[in-house]
Amino acid sequence: MACSILIENDVETLLSDGTILRSTVYRPVAEGERFPVLMTRTPYGRDLSVNSAYFNPATVAAAGFVVILQDVRGRFGSDGEFRPGEQEADDGAEAVEWAARLPYSSGRVGMWGRSYFGESQWRAARRAPHGLGALAPGVCAAGNADNGALFRGGAFELGSRLSWGHGSISLDTIRREFAGDPERLRLELEAWRELDASFADGTAYRTLPLTDLKSRAGTFMESHIIPSTGADPGGEASAAWDWPVSEPVPLPTLHIGGWFDIFLPNTLGQYRLQLEASRQDPAVPRPRLIIGPWSHASFTALFPDTAFAGASSAAVGAYGDLSSIHAEWFRHALADGPEPAMPPVLVYVMGEDRWQGFDELPEPSQRRELFLSSAGALGEAPGVEASASYSYDPLDPVPSTGGSTMHLGADFPGPAEQSAVEARDDVLTFTGEPLGEALTVFGDVTAHLYASSSAVDTDFVVRLCRVTPDGRSVALADGIVRASWRDACAHDGVFRAGMPRRPLTPGAVEEYTVSLWSTACTFAAGDRIRIQVTSSCHPRWDRNLNTGARAFDSSDTVVAHQRLHLGAGAPSRITFGVLERRGELA
């Protein structure tokens, strides 16, 4: 039975160093009763309405929980100075122990929330605070900053990082910094609006060198975000943005991710870390996982070119909305409630447009290879020796069109139709024959390219598309490798620190490994598989200037003449998993 709830604003938490954090508390009106506490900690404003589509605090509180939304140090209602990430372990642990002591608390605390909210969970859990009993991180970067959070294949995640710094963080920073100087505040807000307009029309992303944005940016952007565009992957910037998930936590965990989320591999990595720990240690509960056709900021499952039935956060198959799923799982984890009805792993398979349930995330039944061949073919064998060429001009990059993106402007994430991209002269396409029977592509997708370039450094971008019988090409997954970092990505396309940057010898044939991350899509009989190869995807990733210099501190560019080598001696190919063993329909 739903409870009446009381909403309390500006509830204070006094930290040991004297800093006061402020929260909004939703709690059942039930004199003398105690309830499990569900806490989230955010830098974006604790009453941000967009969160209700993911986790509605009012409905969850009415189901018998105390729900606390807290502004982290230095943000919105909370005192102190905001230092992304580094403050969340100690502050989060103190906040959890404070929540466990509240007079209406059962003493059991769960943490929930997406993106930074999830990262603050992992950091707090590292301190093992008294009372913390469960974590439910969603679309969360905790893990490898060199694989989507800050860099990808050696390229900088330009769109998401600039958009995060400007759109999510800098405005409150400006208001706080200049609150005592109205005239300066007016000027700073005016400058912010001008920069905001340039993000909307794309001119900010086209700035060269990128360091020129500093003169137009607020303090946070100037000191934290823009300098990272000039950093190297694997270095100090990566270490600062790396969120610690190197060791499992001995807690129940519910992991929520999206096939078009900018942090998809981190969500899968967090789940697999906890799963392996549960196999080794019976004291570690088996984790749960939900992966939907969602992007980082949207759980509607509606995109401009595609809509997925039964997959919005308001109706996750037959299991209700994400709020009720959270409540059911936390009741089991914190209050000895019944086992949730939902399978331990729930995966939305695109193409079939339905959920599949599993006991744990399955490995593909087999691996398949398709070879890029002459005349734009894609087949089971390498084909004859051949090559295909194009030219890449950094001043006319291929525009980001869908994918696992999150940036300000007119572009949208998700499974976008690719006709405009594929019509360009600097995009190669390789298309297979119509499939004779359905094929479920599942799990990791990796490309191996043999290519040469006229430049001393350049990029290669690979994209997997589903082509329907009517000729419509929709992108499912993609990836990039920066040629000078090819050695660091040679194992599986994922950057590994410790390898030096190595310039290209113009004209020399090199092998490049590109991770396209993961997907789950059934290609129907009559569909075709298509692979795109190009050298840019802007502003998702920063442009390679083809000179060996970086867009951070240079505006000089040259056109790179690229040649893709094909055939048995240079077997450019795509590899992917195939899922034959079916889970339960969900």
pLDDT digits (tens, 9 = 90+) for 464-476: 999 999 999 999 9
pLDDT, the chain, mean: 94
Phi/psi at 388 (nearest 5 deg)? -140, 140
pLDDT at 31: 82
Task: Tell whether 124 is covered by a domain.
Answer: yes
| CATH number of residue 27's parent domain | 3.40.50.1820
Q: What is the DSSP string of 155-206?
A: EE-HHHHHHIIIIIIIHHHHHHHTTT-HHHHHHHHHHHHHHHHHHHTTTTTT
- Domain shared by 427 and 575, yes or no: yes
- Domain shared by 436 and 455, yes or no: yes
In the chain, the percentage of residues whose pLDDT exceeds 90 is 87
Q: What is the pLDDT of residues 554-586, one digit of tens each?
A: 999 999 999 999 999 999 999 999 998 565 555
Task: Tell whether 585 is covered by a domain.
Answer: no
- Domain shared by 96 and 196, yes or no: no
Please tell me the number of Cα atoms within 13 Å of 209 on its side-chain side: 14
Q: Does residue 244 register a pLDDT over 70?
A: no
Q: What is the DSSP letter of 241?
A: H
Q: How confident is the model at residue 247 (pLDDT cuts 50, 70, 90)?
A: confident
Mean pLDDT of 221-245: 83
Global pTM reads 0.96
- β partners of residue 529: 466
pLDDT at 85: 84
Q: What is the DSSP string of 392-461?
A: E-TTSPPBP-SBS---SSS---BS-B-HHHHTSTT-EEEEEPPPSS-EEEEEEEEEEEEEEESSSS-EEE
Mean pLDDT of 55-69: 96
- Domain shared by 452 and 343, yes or no: no
Task: Tell whether 432 is covered by a domain.
Answer: yes
- Domain shared by 176 and 72, yes or no: no
- Domain shared by 496 and 562, yes or no: yes
Q: Does residue 179 register a pLDDT over 70?
A: yes
- Domain shared by 246 and 183, yes or no: no
Task: Tell whether 357 is covered by a domain.
Answer: no
Q: Does residue 282 register a pLDDT over 80?
A: yes
For residue 540, what are the CA distances in angstroms to 160, 485, 558?
A: 7, 18, 20
pLDDT at 28: 95
Count up the domains in the chain and report the number: 3
Buried residues in 95-131 as b, exposed as e (16+ CB within 10 A):
bbbbbbebebbbebbbbbbbbbbbbbbbbbbbbebeb
Domain boundary among 349, 375, 406: 349
What is the residue range of 563's domain? Answer: 366-580
Task: Tell whether 355 is covered by a domain.
Answer: no
